Structure formats: C-alpha cells, structure tokens
Structure 1
Amino acid sequence: MDMKTILKDGQTVLFYGDSITACHREPEDYTSLGQGFVSLFANRLLAREPEKNIRVLNQGIGGNTVQHLLTRCYDDVIDLMPDYVFILIGINDVVRYMDSIPSLHASPEKYKETYAKLIQELQYYLPATRIILMEPFYLSRGIYPQGTYREQLFSLLQQYIDRLHEVSAEMALPLIKLSECFQHIFEYQPSALFSADKIHPNIKGHMIIAEAVFQHLFKGKDHD
C-alpha cells in the first residue's frame, strides 16, 4: 500500500514566495496554481489521494523578498486560514543586496530578523498552522572563476541559507533543504538540465521541488 501524506480531508495547503512559487499563476485569481511545483504537487496529490478534498493555494508574487512577504502576510496568508504554509524566499534578497537595489532587499542578518518576524506574525494569528521553511537555491554547482558575479552570488547565498537554518533551529520549525537536494542531484546531472538562468527552475527543476514537498508530507516526516 502506498504511503499517505499527513494531510487530512478539508485542509488547506498554502505556498508563499516569489516568482519561483508563482510560476505564471494568474494574479487576479487566488485559486490559480501557476505552472510550477505548486501545480505539480496539487496534481500528484489528487492522483494519489483522491479521497481527500485538499485546497492548495499559490500565493507567490514575482520579485518578492522576505520583507514583501512580511508586508502582505495578513492579506495573502492569514485571511485564508491555511493548515500548512510552505515558505520559499531569499534569492531576490541576495541579488538585490549584491546589486544595491533599494527595494525591500535585506542583508543576511536583516533577512533572518525579518523572516523571524514573519513567522511570529503567522504563529500569533494562526497558532494551529504548521509552517514549513524551504531553502532558497541557485541552480549551479558553484564552480566559477574567483571574483566573478556568479561566484560572489553563490557564496553570499550560503550566508542566507545559514541564517535560515538558524531561524529553523531557534523557532523549532521544519526545513526542506532544497539547495542541498539540488547540489546532490548536480553530482550526477548537469545543472543546465534544470534551469537556464540558474534562478528559475524549468519543469524538471519544479518537479524536484514538488517531490521534496511531497516527501515531507508523508506520515512521519512532519512534527508538531
């Protein structure tokens, strides 16, 4: 018998993030799942567990940083009263911080502080909701000439990931290690197979994320 997820009939799973999460979702339709890992996850869940009526929501918006997520958390998460919230955010913070773009970007330290504040808000208004963090990633093996833009970006990203690990540990929240997952895959397959620009996954990359989410929700993978 196939393993079942811990999801229960009638529950809501919400994915919160930037363009990686949004992936061409219709912004005027909050039920739109887009064309990426959220849609892949929802379709696989329906195929595997058709007896459960699970509402899946995609609340990703392109270009968002962690401060954007904090700003809109009441309208786009709390009001929808989800049972599970998966948060994937960070790559725009890294890029904008590197490029010194003054548009709600955050240093690694500010990223951690703002991320923690976001979680505190969600926990205050949604005390029964399970919050799952997801590592930001850069879809490359990280081998570059020293001093190049991509080398600096890849190195800086690790600082953000480290801060997220601290948030996960300090707030006792589960963390899906997407960056680590992709790096393992890149030991066997070229990164070009999963993304052209190294930031936005193609359908193969989105399948990896959807699978990671699904694996997390198998019974025994989550905790209170």
Structure 2
Amino acid sequence: MILRAGQRIVFMGDSITDCGRRDVAAPYGNGYVSLVRAFVTARHPDLDLHWVNRGVSGDTVRHLAARWERDAVGEHPDWLSVMIGINDIWRRYRGPEAEAVPIDEYERTLRALLTRAVEATGCRLILGDPYLIEPDRAEPQRADADRYAAVVAALAVEFGAVHVPTQAAVDRALAVSPPGKWADDRVHPNLPGHALLADAFLAALDAAPSAPRPRAAADDVTGSRG
C-alpha cells in the first residue's frame, strides 16, 4: 500500500465522485470514494488516514478551476485524486453545447490545476480516466471518452501520478455483461458500478511504486510532505 500513516487524501471530481456527499450521504458520498475509504480502512486500520470528498455534480474542468484554491489546494492534501471529464464530453451530446470543453482546453486546464496543486502543497496525484459504460468503441461519445482518457494517461506519466485506468476496468466487465448491469445511463454507476471503480483505484494504489515524485514538485516546495 502506497499510502502512509496519517496522510490526507482529497478527491476532486463530478457527480461520480460527489454521490450525495453534500446531503444524504455526507461526508463521503455513497459511491467509489466511500468504498475506497472503507476497504483501505479495513485492510490498514493502523494508518489512521484522513479522507475528504470534494466532488461536485455537473462539474467540468472549468468548474474545478473556479474552486481549485478552496477545495483542492486549501485542503492541503498529501494525496490528491482527480477524476473529471465526462461532463466536458457529455455536454457536446446532451447540451448545453457551450458548456462542452474541447480536448485542448481540457488538457491545458487540467495540467495547470495539477501543477498548481503540486507546487503549492507538495502532494502526490491519483488520476482517474473519464469513461463511458459503452462497449462500442466507435460510438461517438465513447470515442471521445477514449481520447480524453488518453490525455489523463499522458498527464499521469508527466506528473509521476498513480494512474487509474477506469475505462479498462469497465471494458473488462462489459466483455461479459451488458452496460445496464453497471449503470442506467452509461455514466452514473449503480453500486456494483461504483465497486468496479473502487476496485480499479485499490488495484492502482496497491501496484504503484512508492518512490517517484511529481514532475511539477520542486524539492524546496514549502510545506511539502511527499
């Protein structure tokens, strides 16, 4: 396990991360964040980790940028997990189209946000791919999801982040089961769907090496905890 005792793990994202964490399922939500927290706690009760969910339903990277200082940097994470992108894509198909985020803006904005967080806090990063619960890779929205996920994978390499290939996890399930088993709308998972995501996060955390530092983190960052 790459996490260390007493560390603070902050999750940023959209509705898939939010999952009622601001109301009926406060404070962790009833999705993958809660499941990751529960399983890590059960497996490593000695670590005494601190978990924070800052997902907001409907968010794109533009929304993340507007609240980044408060909800990401201001939380002083040791680990910052970010999974964002489905709304950036979805708005192109479901509207309002003006709120869709082109892939170049998505990459530019996400890189700037990650750089800011690492330089300000010295945190390490966990980056989850945007995904679509759709087996046809030629379907336009699924093809877009794959393109945006490739951006995230490249940023994970650039920043030395833990990469969570959520689409690959979904695809393994879709190889033997229909999309409706995991979500009603191809985007918002039911409980088994969230378990798929949580399992992918846990596998990535277990497999990650402990040594690499983020590219954007200078050795003399004030308050860096590594």
Q: Using structure 1 for the length normalisation, give the TM-score.
A: 0.86
Equivalent position of 1:14 in the other structure: 10
1:130 pairs, out of 116, 124, 127, with: 124
Unaligned runs of 5+ in 2: 213-226
* Cα pair distance change 1:28/1:186, threshold 3 Å: closer
DSSP 3-state at the match of 2:12: strand
Unaligned runs of 5+ in 1: 145-150
Q: Show CA shifts across 1:106-137 (max 9, x none).
A: 1011111111111111112112x111111001
Contact 1:215 1:221 in 2 (8 A): no
Contact 1:18 1:63 in 2 (8 A): yes
Runs of 4+ aligned residues of structure 1 deviating over 4 Å after TM superposition are: 219-223
Equivalent position of 1:101 in the other structure: 97
Contact 2:163 2:204 in 1 (8 A): no
Distance 2:145 2:35 in 1: 26
Equivalent position of 2:197 in the other structure: 209
2:136 paired with 1:142: yes
2:142 paired with 1:154: yes
Post-superposition offset of 1:196: 0.7
Equivalent position of 1:25 in the other structure: 21
2:34 paired with 1:39: yes
Q: Using structure 2 for the length normalisation, give the TM-score.
A: 0.86
* Cα pair distance change 1:24/1:217, threshold 3 Å: same
Aligned-pair identity in percent equals: 27
Q: Which amino acid aligns with 1:85?
A: L
* Cα pair distance change 1:49/1:172, threshold 3 Å: closer
Aligned pairs for 1:167-206 within 5 A: 167-206=155-194
Q: Which amino acid aligns with 1:138?
A: L
DSSP 3-state at the match of 2:136: coil
Distance 1:75 1:216 in 2: 27
* Cα pair distance change 1:141/1:108, threshold 3 Å: same
